[in-house]
């Protein structure tokens, strides 16, 4: 039996007791089309002159790759005219992007990381796009949207997902009723469902962490990792594998498919210093993983419960298998 398309899946969700508003369905389809265009640019590589850096920095102080800027523009251009959005925000931009006055405005707010794992671009490794959708506060209908309107906890997301540009182009999506995977059929240009509802396997002995940051970890994170590195001869009596791709999309997708845990803890030397962005990375990934049966914290607090203080706020991330996340959190609480 042939898998159903993304469009059919979304329309069926819309028909089932109005589980999906029409405007949200159309917004997700628009984001999915933009992801196809980004995936096409990624696949061309040097032939499309998209490799290398621009020599400029984004608001995060990170050197921008050409593809960072190209993907950002593709998402802005695809979404600003459809009438589904009140405003957008991107990891690559200092502040929000308001919908031009010549276009109609909608009730949703879109946040995105146009290219996650951009350090992988020039060497042909996996990168992706992450997105999150919120409902704009009701009072926005009578005024311009502000940054404060975006500062909602992740629990208020109405949709989130990511596109993964690797051996296959994949789109993984949740609208709050399970997690579904779609693979791009390049012959017909359509996203087709290939998995879902996805349930993250529990009990997998695998973790993803950047070991080069070991000197910056807290004693709790060091103890958690040391116990797993010790393997069958250590206190857990079990051997673990370690994986790290320098692309959150790739690491989270692997965890969704075969279990395990992903950690990018805050720097213990400077309390509050962390790498990953709450609004563009942690919140959407936490929504997806919890929908698939996992858990997500900043080390102690559930990520989806964090009240944002800014568009580019950073947080520590511990996400994946419920038991492993609980074990890491328990160590953090002890100190």
Quick: pLDDT tens for 96-143.
999 988 888 999 999 999 998 777 777 777 899 999 999 999 877 777
Final residue belonging to a domain, choices 195, 219, 240: 195
- Is 117 annotated in a binding site? The answer is yes
- Is 149 annotated in a binding site? The answer is no
Instruction: Name the band, by pLDDT with cuts 50, 70 and 90, for residue 270.
Output: low
DSSP secondary structure code for residue 143 in this structure: S
- Is 281 annotated in a binding site? The answer is yes
- Is 210 annotated in a binding site? The answer is yes
- Residues 164-178: pLDDT tens digits? 998 899 999 999 999
Q: What is the mean pLDDT of residues 262-283?
A: 87
- Is 113 annotated in a binding site? The answer is yes
pLDDT of residue 192: 96
The span from the CA of 55 to the CA of 164, in Å, is: 25
Whether the pLDDT of residue 335 is over 60: the answer is no
> 95 and 54 in one domain?
yes
> 126 and 77 in one domain?
yes
Asked, for residue 303, whether it belongs to a domain, the answer is: yes
Whether the pLDDT of residue 48 is over 80: the answer is no
pLDDT of residue 50: 64
CA distances to 161, 233, 330 from 298, in Å = 20, 29, 12
Percent residues over pLDDT 90 in the chain: 70
Asked, for residue 1, whether it belongs to a domain, the answer is: no
Strand locations in 91-221 (E): 97-98, 108-116, 127-135, 159-165, 169-174, 179-185, 190-195, 206-208
- What CATH number should be reported for the domain holding residue 57? 3.30.540.10
- Is 116 annotated in a binding site? The answer is yes
- Residues 63-97: pLDDT tens digits? 567 888 889 999 999 999 999 999 999 999 989 99
Q: What is the mean pLDDT of residues 307-332?
A: 94
Asked, for residue 235, whether it belongs to a domain, the answer is: yes
Whether the pLDDT of residue 1 is over 50: the answer is no
The span from the CA of 319 to the CA of 316, in Å, is: 10
Instruction: Name the band, by pLDDT with cuts 50, 70 and 90, for residue 334.
Output: low
Instruction: Tell me the pLDDT of the chain averaged across its residues.
Output: 90
> 102 and 76 in one domain?
yes
> 221 and 170 in one domain?
no
Instruction: Dig out the tokens for 189 from the structure.
Output: 């240009």
Whether the pLDDT of residue 225 is over 50: the answer is yes
Domain extent at residue 142 = 6-195
Asked, for residue 286, whether it belongs to a domain, the answer is: yes
Asked, for residue 11, whether it belongs to a domain, the answer is: yes
> 170 and 127 in one domain?
yes
Asked, for residue 228, whether it belongs to a domain, the answer is: yes
- Is 119 annotated in a binding site? The answer is yes
- Is 56 annotated in a binding site? The answer is no
> 184 and 39 in one domain?
yes
């Amino acid at each position: 039996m042939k898998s159903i398309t993304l469009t059919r899946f979304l329309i069926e969700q819309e028909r089932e007791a109005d589980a999906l508003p029409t405007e949200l369905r159309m917004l997700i389809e628009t984001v999915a089309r933009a992801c196809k265009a980004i995936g096409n640019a990624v696949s061309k590589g040097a032939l499309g002159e998209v490799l290398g850096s621009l020599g400029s920095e984004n608001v995060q102080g990170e050197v921008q790759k050409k593809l960072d800027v190209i993907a950002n523009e593709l998402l802005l251009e695809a979404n600003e005219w459809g009438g589904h959005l009140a405003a957008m925000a991107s990891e690559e931009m200092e502040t929000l992007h308001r919908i031009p006055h010549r276009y109609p405005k909608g009730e949703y707010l879109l946040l995105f990381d146009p290219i996650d794992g951009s350090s992988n671009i020039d060497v042909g490794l996996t990168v992706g796009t992450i997105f999150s959708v919120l409902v704009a506060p009701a009072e926005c209908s009578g005024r311009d949207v502000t940054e404060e309107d975006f500062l909602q906890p992740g629990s208020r997301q109405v949709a989130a997902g990511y596109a993964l540009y690797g051996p296959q182009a994949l789109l993984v999506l949740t609208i709050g009723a399970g997690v579904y995977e779609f693979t791009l059929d390049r012959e017909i240009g359509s996203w087709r469902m290939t998995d879902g509802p996805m349930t993250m396997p529990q009990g997998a002995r695998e973790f993803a962490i950047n070991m080069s940051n070991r000197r910056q970890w807290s004693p709790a994170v060091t103890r958690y990792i040391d116990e797993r590195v010790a393997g069958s001869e250590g206190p857990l009596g079990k051997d673990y594998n370690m994986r790290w791709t320098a692309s959150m999309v790739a690491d989270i997708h692997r965890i969704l498919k075969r279990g395990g845990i992903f950690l990018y803890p805050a720097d213990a030397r400077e309390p509050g210093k962390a790498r990953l962005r709450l609004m563009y990375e942690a919140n959407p990934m936490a929504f997806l993983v919890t929908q698939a049966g996992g858990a997500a914290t900043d080390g102690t607090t559930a990520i989806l419960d964090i009240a944002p203080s800014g568009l580019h706020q950073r947080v520590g991330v511990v996400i994946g298998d419920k038991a492993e996340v609980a074990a890491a959190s328990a160590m953090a609480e002890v100190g």
